[in-house]
Structure 1
Amino acid sequence: MTGRYVALGSSMAAGPGIRPTASGAPFGSGRSAVNYPHLVATRLGHDLADVTFSGATTANVLHEAQRGTPPQITRIDGTEELITVTIGGNDVGYVPFLFAAGLPRFVASVPLLGGKVRELLDPAARDAALDRVPTALAAVGRALRAKAPDARILFVDYLTLLPPAGTPAPPLSDTHADTGRRIADTLKRHTETAAADTGCEVVHVADASVDHHAWSADPWTTRVGLPLPGRPAPLHPNAAGMRAVADLVVAALT
């Protein structure tokens, strides 16, 4: 082994539904044995501690337990050679917004569920969340740098989910697709700023995957739909996407 590698982040790093499941993965984590952290570790010979967890927010990285698992940062002991982190989307409700936008309109009027759907689709709520995320991402970068001063720390941003403006993304309306693009672009920009301001690096996955969105002929992510057993989660990386992200991470390191 060439060094210790800790992988942090949410489902976009964990790889829910991509078979096989990682050995010992906690229930609900959605952690795949062929997610990009596992692929990077295998290719570079690193000793991997993968604590990625579906649904994770920056708070779950820093100070909040998730489904009984400690905050992800507790696995960092200062001996790391490499740390990767893919986070921030759940702070702003990025994929949940797209899920909600893909539901039939009548769902917004269903008791209890309708209120959550309306909140997710509220542009003002998404803007307020986006306003908070720069501080949260910078806090992640500072904390990781403080705990592992000698590590390479890479913010790995999000695969592009949506096609370019003007290209339909059914069942999403053009308005919802435009909002989704704005959320993704803003999150990418805030990730780049947080990395630069905290002495970390960025792997520009979003830019590299523009031609591999979920509606493309060669997708690295999945479209809107219902979660099905044995298949990658909707609006998440597929196996090809994870391999592509691993390639980009390895290229950034070598």
Structure 2
Amino acid sequence: MAPIGHLRRGLVTVIAAVGLAALGVPTALGDGSHGDGDGSGGAGSVEYVNMGDSYSAASGVLPPAPGAPPQCLQSARNWGHVLADRWGYDLTDVSCGAAETRHYTEAQYPGVPPQVEALSDETDVVTMTIGGNDSGVFSGTIQACATAAATTAGTGNPCEEQNGDRFTDTIENVTYPSLVDALETVKAAAPDARVAIAGYLQILPAERGCYPIMPVASGDVPYINDIQATLNDAVRRAAEATGVTYVDVTEASQGHDACRPIGTRWVEPAVGGTNPVVVHPNALGEQAMADRAAAELGGASRG
């Protein structure tokens, strides 16, 4: 086993990378049109808007979406593009790495309008992932637990001991009501649309982790899983409260966590992954999200 000092130096780099990935980048507002091939939104076309954060944007998955602003990491292979290509929808993709619920009504970056501005009475279908970046829950959990794991060389449950219920309390008391507000805003801006929100793909195995590939101490794996389950349940309850379709990806993503080998995993690990944006879905994960959304929504037709 490497000395703890060496592990700390290596994990500082990992933590920095995870932080940058979680801060992410936004996505394009309209140039990523798909469906009828020319983005013209012709008569009878289904107007589809993909919104949300880096899980919707597929930040780090190549190739990037054509026309995305330079500060964006929106992928041409994200679940929105997969669904639009599958169903022939006319896609406007405003998903944005690091987006929080507030960025539905506030500009996230200069030149990148609030995401709800992409919606209208003409919008037929909306998909999204959102909520994980609110109050820094996603990035905060990963960074806190990576830092804690470095102090014990991946043993014990130092993250849980240091942080207790603070992440789950934030999700319940801050993230959940923000999700409800965001979904109500979406429905008001697109009153005739079928709206779907997905949970987040499983990041870690059910019990044992894979330190230092994923820099989480062995005893903190259940702790992080509980935080993620709390987040996904908040998304589910917010969807139920607002009459929005919830796309449950938890069961489907079991056995496809970041500790699995290439070709099996749907989320890239912090160390040794294939995407520059770590602890985020790869192309297989985005395809799986699209498959689950398709099962929940089916196709839709204009009018």
How many angstroms apart in 2 are the aligned matches of 1:30 and 1:179? Answer: 30
Runs of 4 or more, structure 1, over 4 Å off, are none
What are the superposed Cα offsets for residues 217-245 of structure 1, whole Å, 9 maximum, x if unpaired? 4100111238x8x8251100011111111
Counting matched residue pairs gives 237
Aligned residue among 158, 167, 170 for 1:126: 167
Larger Rg: 2
Q: How does 1:133-152 map to 2 (within 5 A)?
A: 133-152=175-194
How many angstroms apart in 2 are the aligned matches of 1:149 and 1:50? Answer: 18
Tell me how large the CA RMSD over aligned residues is.
2.1
What SS does structure 2 have at the residue aligned with 1:244? helix
**Match of 2:9?**
none
Would you say the 8 A contact 1:168–1:174 is kept in 2? Answer: yes
Cα distance, 1:29 vs structure 2: 2.5
**Match of 1:154?**
196
How many angstroms apart in 1 are the aligned matches of 2:275 and 2:230? Answer: 29
Q: Is 2:180 aligned against 1:164?
A: no
What SS does structure 2 have at the residue aligned with 1:211? coil
Q: Which runs of 5+ in 1 are unaligned?
A: 107-117
| TM-score, L = length of structure 1 | 0.86
What SS does structure 2 have at the residue aligned with 1:180? helix
Aligned residue among 80, 100, 103 for 1:37: 80
How many angstroms apart in 2 are the aligned matches of 1:175 and 1:242? Answer: 29
Aligned residue among 115, 122, 142 for 1:79: 122
Q: Is 2:255 aligned against 1:214?
A: no
Would you say the 8 A contact 2:245–2:296 is kept in 1? Answer: no
Cα distance, 1:24 vs structure 2: 1.5
Q: Which runs of 5+ in 2 are unaligned?
A: 1-35, 37-44, 152-158, 299-303
How many angstroms apart in 2 are the aligned matches of 1:91 and 1:203? Answer: 20
**Match of 2:156?**
none
* Matched residue type, 1:159: L
* Matched residue type, 2:189: K
**Match of 1:49?**
92
Q: Is 2:103 aligned against 1:60?
A: yes
* Matched residue type, 1:149: P
**Match of 1:21?**
64
